[in-house]
Amino acid sequence: MARRPETLAAQALHRIDVETGAVIPPVHLATTYARDGANALIGAHDYIRPEGPTQAHAAALICALEGGADARLFSSGLAAAAAVFATLPAGAHVVAQTKMYYGAKKLLQSLETKGAIVLAFFDPDDPDALARAVKPGATALIWIETPANPLWSVVDIARAAETARSAGARLAVDSTSAPPCTTRSLDLGADYVVHSATKYLNGHSDVLAGAVVTRAKDEAWQALCDHHSLTGAVPGAFEAWLLIRGLRTLFVRFERQSANALRLAQSLEGHPGIAQVLYPGLPAHPGHAIAARQMTGGYGGLLSLRLRGGAKAAAQLAASTEVFIQATSIGGVESLIEHRKPIEGPQSPTPDDLVRLSCGLEAADDLMADLMTALERV
């Protein structure tokens, strides 16, 4: 019987341990695996660097949730992104967003500085900018992130996929902010989906991991798998097991986090101390119509506030909350707040009056009261 993604996640692909009958997946800590008298492997694995059983289980679960053909687990989200970039031919033309996660942007810029790629940027808020940035026959990769951290620009994945196909390029989507419980980018035409699994997929702020899921097992994917095996950028077995644990509650966590964020965004619109609330779930957001089409399971727990008092007010707000914890990261069960510009540095396009919020699972009334009290102090 075919099972819905919510069921696959909750039961971790319904893999009962055959030896014990345990309903919780086992963790395999071994780094090497035995062979029989004929030197044939007893099981499916020989060594931990390519992939162990627990890592393979986590990757298979993410692959099933994304509707992909195959997936690989990495030691971080940036390691996953680096694997996609590493498979490009020397001097490849790559198109990416001006507004995106600053770590991935810095990685792309470092590759351009070394001459490994030729990089072009487009404004994600301009629906026609991507087509202008692409060079048909020359562009090898289009890299998009939607919604894009921390300004939450929304890119039309299906339209980007059409642009990629017409140019002979591959489309990779950083879907860290829109996990498969709300967006399945492969269904919309993407070639790769990339996650910082540290964030929503794990959801408990205790695992560093990344993932790449592919739409097709082709030569390019085999090259990525070879890179994955040779570099050994894989998480440990216990981290992979914790990731499986987190994935089992992804759908219910994301639903609650989305509800909390929407409540805050709606309540804070029009607040005298706030110049702008950035959240794709608000009708006033310029990308709302696209988000409504491609984020079918909620708009997520992430929003940003631009304060009328500028950078000073932003810093004060981030330091004044009591329920929201001032810390870096997103997607966890606890709510976090951060004055983002100082973290990204002076070259970042993020405004210095912006505060990023990651809503967790707390009572919405407590989150709202905390922010209102902190805004009064500011």
The pairing of beta strand 274-278 with beta strand 302-307: antiparallel
| CA separation for the pair 80, 103 (Å, rounded) | 12
Helix, strand, or coil here: 301? coil
Among the listed residues 199, 245, 248, 253, the single catalytic one is 199
Residue 214: closest CA among 51, 67, 6: 67
Q: Say which residues have a Cβ less than 8 Å from residue 300's Cβ, sequence separation at least 6.
A: 147, 177, 178, 182, 200, 254, 257, 258, 261, 280, 281
What are the residues facing 303 on neighbouring strands? 357
Among the listed residues 15, 46, 49, 263, the single catalytic one is 49
Q: Say which residues have a Cβ less than 8 Å from residue 15's Cβ, sequence separation at least 6.
A: 25, 57
Has 199 been annotated as catalytic?
yes
Among the listed residues 101, 102, 192, 299, the single catalytic one is 101
Has 101 been annotated as catalytic?
yes
Neighbours of 160 (CB within 10 A): 27
Whether the CB-CB separation of 321 and 327 falls below 8 Å is answered with no
Among the listed residues 102, 105, 156, 174, the single catalytic one is 174
Enumerate the active-site residues.
49, 101, 174, 199
